[in-house]
Structure 1
Amino acid sequence: MKRRDALRGALAAGLAGSGLAALTTTRNDIDAALAADHGSDLGFWESTAERYGYGYHGQAPDEVLADMLDDFDELKSLLAQRHTDKDRTTLSHVTGRMAGMVAIILHDMGQHHESHRWFATATRAAKKSGDQLLHAWVLGREAMVPLNFGAPQAAAKLADQARYLAGDKPSAAAALASAVASRAYAVSGDHEKALAAIADVERLADRLSPQQHADTWFGYPMQKHHVHMSQALTVLGQTRRAYETQKEALALSRAPSLMTRALIAIDTASCHAHDGDRATAAHLAAAAYGQLPASYRSGLTRTRALALYRTLPADTPDIGQLADALRLAS
């Protein structure tokens, strides 16, 4: 408990110094332990990974991250033990899921370099598990890091690798990979490939089972589908379709989904800017970003809001509201 409290404090102060050191130590220990034999209470850890898979549930990202790293401290002792090949495969699968979720949280917090390192650990574990769909899911999620931080071509490459691994059979991993590819190609300016990927993900989404549509980080729920399509269609300038999918995304979003709702609102603002209503764009973006708790104003939400701000002319009405929300010098 004391260590957890100390870790929470370090993470709350920012991912630097002791907080970053704790992340690095934990990840290195896991990488080393993956090379060893291990075993024990796998059922508990499978349920733990499943529980974390349901997302933030209104908790701040740094709080969830602190809990996960505390659990990883216990998981390390299990990784260091010997076990049967079957249980080793199961444990690698659990580790891949857990490491992938840590990477997602780091991405959401804007720590893209450390996120890539955790995705590498998740990839290593997924390969050892032999689960090709888990491997595809990890690559698909990792592709969102370069996508959201200025490297869409690298994102498209990772997403296409994930699409290849997932194959043509409908799966949550295949749908995610195609959705991320559609966004990456849209941002890269390759509209033909973006529209083809949109067609692929819409075809896949219609064929997923209820389990594959589960509202978790490992599923591909329709809410998540509409969030991806909102971003792809917004970038493509297809604002009519974008507004429709944004409406669907909001209708399907749970009330505590603070980050999701803010990102959708910023997409809507970007559509208004594209349609020539820049005042509404600035007002909507300022309200969406400015009303977020401080712990949600770093990383992806700030990147999106700042990108919109930079596209608006200096004489845009209400642009000062957006500048104030972003804490920019006037």
Structure 2
Amino acid sequence: MRLPAPPTALTDQLLADQRISDALARRDVGTLFSLVHEEAGMSFNKISEACGIRAERVSKIARGEAAVTSLAGLERIADGLGIPGIRLGLATRPWEAANTPTTAPDTVGGDDPMKRRNVLRGALAAGLAGPGLAAALSNTRNDFDAALAADHGPNDLGFWESTAERYGYGYHGQAPADVLADLIEDLLELKPLLSQARTVKGRATLCHVSGQMVGMAAIVLHDLGQHREAHRWFATAGRAAEQSGDQLLHAWVLGREAMVPLNYGAHQAAAQLAERARYLAGDKPSAASALASAVASRAYAIGGHTEQAQTAVADVETLAERLSPQQHADTWFGYPMQKHHVHMSQALTHLGESGRAYETQKEALRLSRAPSYMTRALLAIDKATCRAHDGDRAGAAHVASQAYGSLPASYRTGLTRTRALALYRALPADTPGLEKLDEALTLAR
């Protein structure tokens, strides 16, 4: 029985294009998608439907901002675009086997090494210009290119390290749910490689990258209000960090995890996690130790442990002054001064030190990149809390309702809603302007 070719199958002419041949040999799906889009006029939506990959991700892959390395992903692409398995270093695809005439002579020897060797010898004996030699040489070269790609492409540690680094720069105006979707897709590509690592060092690197990427997925889940799921992902990130042998990464994971109970009402649990992170980070200045001390200061301040909070504030202020420029990097893994001031804003707000809190809020806003929707909203809610503490309840309601009400819809869930709701409940029912904050919270449900 002859199966029909996929409706999106590439033509023989396209498959013979040297640029596409080179891309297939390297398993360079980005170049492949780009050429198919340009030369075949196939839209990213059409490629998406054929290969079972979201259109946004197809576009990113074509721009070199994402990659496909798992065998399952490559098989979907081969089947969707009608690419023979051998061209991507895969087994013969089911539709190829069904479409191969059983009586046709095997001109290149198939997968039997002895048969292929005999075909090649016969072609050489017939002369260099013979068509049999060209086919045999081409088949052998393609096999060798595919073997090289299979060895190094999926295990390109540098690619995965740069992928984690790219995610580390944060949202950049993207909706958290979109960032999470991209992270999950990349993690699905990365997962099989952990069992394929050939060296201890290679596996340690993959565990390190996994710890970073799983940790970032947990951060986004936390920001989306999925705190139970965030805890589970942080636990997985912690296991990956532990297996990587990097104590600072493990401390970073615990410090970040401490922010989940901190922001959802369990300050004692947050303090315990933060102290574990401080212990793992050790005495040397690091972004992880600064983060852990900052989170501890907030947890103690919210819990009313003034002396411990003030000690932690002093500790993190000292650490922040001693960090290197690299440790101050404005990423999820660094401890930039902007984030330092955001942490101090909440700690000082709950310590009742409004003057210092206002100053650190101004500095945090000055250092914040545009658009930074979530950061700006949280700082405004801290400011409103300071106003309420100082007796200006109407001003508190006004600042909070403006900050929360002006957020894009995708940012009105999770952490921003939790903090705005906490302030709303803390203000007396007769507070002037409180109804506007109530309206903003109601609309966001």
Corresponding residue SS for 1:110: coil
How big is each residue's C-alpha offset from its partner over 1:22-68, in whole Å with a ceiling of 9 and x where there is no partner?
xxxxxxxxxxxxxxxx9711110000000000000000000101111
Confirm whether residue 298 of structure 1 aligns to residue 347 of structure 2. Answer: no
Q: Which residue of 2 aligns with 1:5?
A: 54
How far did residue 80 of structure 1 move? 2.9
* Contact 1:4-1:66 at 8 Å conserved across structures: no
Q: What is the rounded CA distance, in whole Å, between the counterparts of 2:214 and 2:155 in structure 1?
A: 19
How far did residue 77 of structure 1 move? 2.4
Q: How does 1:99-114 map to 2 (within 5 A)?
A: 99-114=214-229
Corresponding residue SS for 1:247: helix
Q: Which residue of 2 aligns with 1:135?
A: 250
Q: Which residue of 1 aligns with 2:434?
A: 319
Corresponding residue SS for 2:391: coil
Q: Which residue of 2 aligns with 1:24?
A: none
| TM-score (normalizing by structure 2) | 0.66
AA of the residue aligned to 1:115: A
> Could you list the runs of 4 or more consecutive aligned residues of structure 1 that deviate by over 2 angstroms after TM superposition?
1-8
Q: What is the rounded CA distance, in whole Å, between the counterparts of 1:118 and 1:252 in structure 2?
A: 30
Confirm whether residue 233 of structure 1 aligns to residue 282 of structure 2. Answer: no
- List gaps (5 residues or longer) in structure 2: 1-47, 58-151
How far did residue 314 of structure 1 move? 1.0
Q: Which residue of 1 aligns with 2:28?
A: none
Paired-residue identity, %: 75
Q: Which residue of 2 aligns with 1:205?
A: 320
C-alpha RMSD over aligned residues = 1.7
Corresponding residue SS for 1:327: helix
Q: Which residue of 2 aligns with 1:12?
A: none
Q: Which residue of 1 aligns with 2:376?
A: 261
Q: What is the rounded CA distance, in whole Å, between the counterparts of 2:369 and 2:222 in structure 1?
A: 21
Q: What is the rounded CA distance, in whole Å, between the counterparts of 2:338 and 2:177 in structure 1?
A: 24
How big is each residue's C-alpha offset from its partner over 1:206-264, in whole Å with a ceiling of 9 and x where there is no partner?
00000000000000000000000000011111100000000000000011100000000
Q: What is the rounded CA distance, in whole Å, between the counterparts of 2:163 and 2:241 in structure 1?
A: 17
* Contact 1:7-1:66 at 8 Å conserved across structures: no
Confirm whether residue 173 of structure 1 aligns to residue 222 of structure 2. Answer: no
Pick 1 or 2: higher relative contact order, CA cutoff 8 A, min separation 6. Answer: 1
Q: How does 1:247-286 map to 2 (within 5 A)?
A: 247-286=362-401
How far did residue 4 of structure 1 move? 5.0
Q: How does 1:87-102 map to 2 (within 5 A)?
A: 87-102=202-217
> Which has the higher mean CA deviation after the structures are superposed, 71-80 or 88-97?
71-80
How far did residue 7 of structure 1 move? 11
Q: What is the rounded CA distance, in whole Å, between the counterparts of 1:252 and 1:102 in structure 2?
A: 25
Q: What is the rounded CA distance, in whole Å, between the counterparts of 1:318 and 1:5 in structure 2?
A: 44
Confirm whether residue 124 of structure 1 aligns to residue 239 of structure 2. Answer: yes
> Which has the higher mean CA deviation after the structures are superposed, 267-276 or 75-84?
75-84
Call closer, same or farther: CA 1:216–1:189 in 2, change over 3 Å. same
AA of the residue aligned to 1:5: R
Question: Which structure has the larger Rg?
Answer: 2
Corresponding residue SS for 1:71: helix
Confirm whether residue 55 of structure 1 aligns to residue 170 of structure 2. Answer: yes
How far did residue 168 of structure 1 move? 1.2
Q: Which residue of 1 aligns with 2:144?
A: none
* Contact 1:4-1:70 at 8 Å conserved across structures: no
